Amino acid sequence: MTPTREDLERARARVEGVVRRTPVETCRTLDRMAGASLFFKCEHLQRGGAFKLRGATNAVASLTQDEAARGVATHSSGNHAAALAIAAARRGIEATIVMPVDAPAIKRAAVEGYGARIVSCGPTLADREGTLADVVAKSGAAVVHPYDDARIVAGQATAAIELFEQVPELDVVIAPIGGGGLLSGTVLAAKFFSPGTRVIGAEPALADDAAESLRLGERQPQRPPRTVADGLRTAIGAIPFEVLRTHDVEVRTVSEEDIVRAMRTTWERAKLPIEASSAVAVAVAIDGGFANARVGVVLSGGNVDLTRLPWQ
């Protein structure tokens, strides 16, 4: 079910005072490279290191007492896992996270540090979903899907709602897409709170199932998980796909070289230590032909394994 304006407003109330109102930063060097005025919504500074705390907080706060008593479970490569672990701990309930064996070590360590139980699985979406089904069958835990959940989409929308308040009259907002929770939430936030703003998705060319799904008119399976943007390796969900399809959203793709270049430039020139998934949106902003426009860029996360920087 697609979230309504009322769902977004309720999500905003639930996250208020729980998640951080992250700052918006600018960088003259990146402005010159893009030929536009870029405004970076710094969700990499969110607690847990990513925007995901917004959706997880909204979802966990939405549970009934009976649902919460059985705990929560999900599958995630890291950022949603950490967010759900934090939200569950805040409510005092158990969280079980199914994580692929190739998830970055820093993300696994963070999830364990927040008190969640990790169950390992293979690297594909089928591996994740199958292992999660086993966990739920044994525990009865409530599933909080990382992106294909209206509560998650509504929670993620609060990042863009804040951005529209912080920087009025944006021409464009760019957000990365993996499963689609952030991008679909951004689309709905623009529809209800900044209807003059165009929303564009950013996706790795090596994980372009969302762009292909929109082109073909039906959801496509996950591409082989080869991109450096590990947070974007999953396939688009049904709810996000319907939001993007209905609102005729464009998703642009960028190469691995462009992703790494954008990530390194953002670290070096803007002094914003983002992860590769965030850099996908930066790469689209730099190369997207937004001459003289006011462009919001959602920096989705900053959880990076410093021993494996992609330019080393």
pLDDT band at 223 (very low <50, low <70, confident <90, very high): confident
Same domain, 45 and 185: yes
CA distance 38 to 294: 6
Alpha-carbon gap, residue 146 to 155, rounded angstroms = 11
pLDDT confidence of residue 234: 85
Question: What is the share, in percent, of the chain residues with pLDDT greater than 70?
Answer: 100
Structural domain ending residue among the three candidates 143, 166, 185: 143
The rounded distance, in Å, linking the Cα atoms of 97 and 84 is 9
Which residues, at least 6 apart from 83, have a Cβ–Cβ distance to it below 8 Å? Answer: 48, 50, 52, 53, 54, 55, 56, 57
167 and 234 belong to one structural domain: yes
pLDDT band at 209 (very low <50, low <70, confident <90, very high): very high
60 contact partners, CB below 8 Å, separation of at least 6? 68, 72, 84, 87, 88, 90, 91, 93, 144
Cα–Cα distance between 222 and 26 in angstroms, integer? 34
If we measure between CA atoms, which residue out of 204, 209, 206 comes closest to residue 220? 209
User: What secondary structure does DSSP assign to 68-107, as a single string?
Assistant: HHT-EEEE-SSHHHHHHHHHHHHHT--EEEEEETTS-HHH
Number of structural domains the chain divides into: 2
Tens of pLDDT, residues 69-120: 999 999 987 788 989 999 999 999 999 999 989 887 877 888 999 999 999 9
Evaluate whether residue 309 is within a structural domain: no
130-164 confidence digits (pLDDT tens): 999 999 999 999 999 999 999 999 999 999 999 99
Residue 30 lies in a domain: yes
Specify whether the backbone of 71 is left (phi greater than 0), alpha (psi in -120 to 50) or beta: left
Last residue of one domain, picked from the residues 108, 143, 178 = 143
Q: Is 27 in the same domain as 45?
A: yes
- Same structural domain for residues 165 and 208? yes
Please report whether residue 310 resides in a domain: no
Last residue of a domain, one of 143, 167, 182: 143
Is residue 241 in a domain? yes
pLDDT score of 267 more than 80: yes
The average confidence (pLDDT) of the chain is: 95
Query: 173 and 65: one domain?
Result: no
What is the band of 287 on the pLDDT scale with cuts at 50, 70, 90? very high
Q: What is the mean pLDDT of residues 185-198?
A: 98
The residue length of the chain stands at: 312
Do 29 and 168 sit in the same domain of this protein? yes
User: 163 and 25, same structural domain?
Assistant: yes
Which segments within the chain are labelled E, that is strand? 24-25, 37-42, 72-75, 95-100, 117-121, 142-143, 172-176, 198-204, 250-254, 294-299
Does residue 232 share a domain with residue 197? yes
Residues 102 and 169 in one domain: no
Domain membership flag for residue 85: yes
Which pLDDT belongs to residue 182?
98
pLDDT higher than threshold 80 for residue 200 = yes
Q: What is the pLDDT of residues 30-51, one digit of tens each?
A: 999 999 999 999 999 999 899 9
Q: Any idea what the CATH number is for the domain that residue 204 is in?
A: 3.40.50.1100
Whether 265 and 211 share a structural domain:
yes
Q: Are residues 257 and 171 in the same domain?
A: yes
What pLDDT is recorded for position 282?
98
Range(s) of the domain holding residue 102 = 53-143
Whether 17 and 161 map to the same domain: the answer is: yes
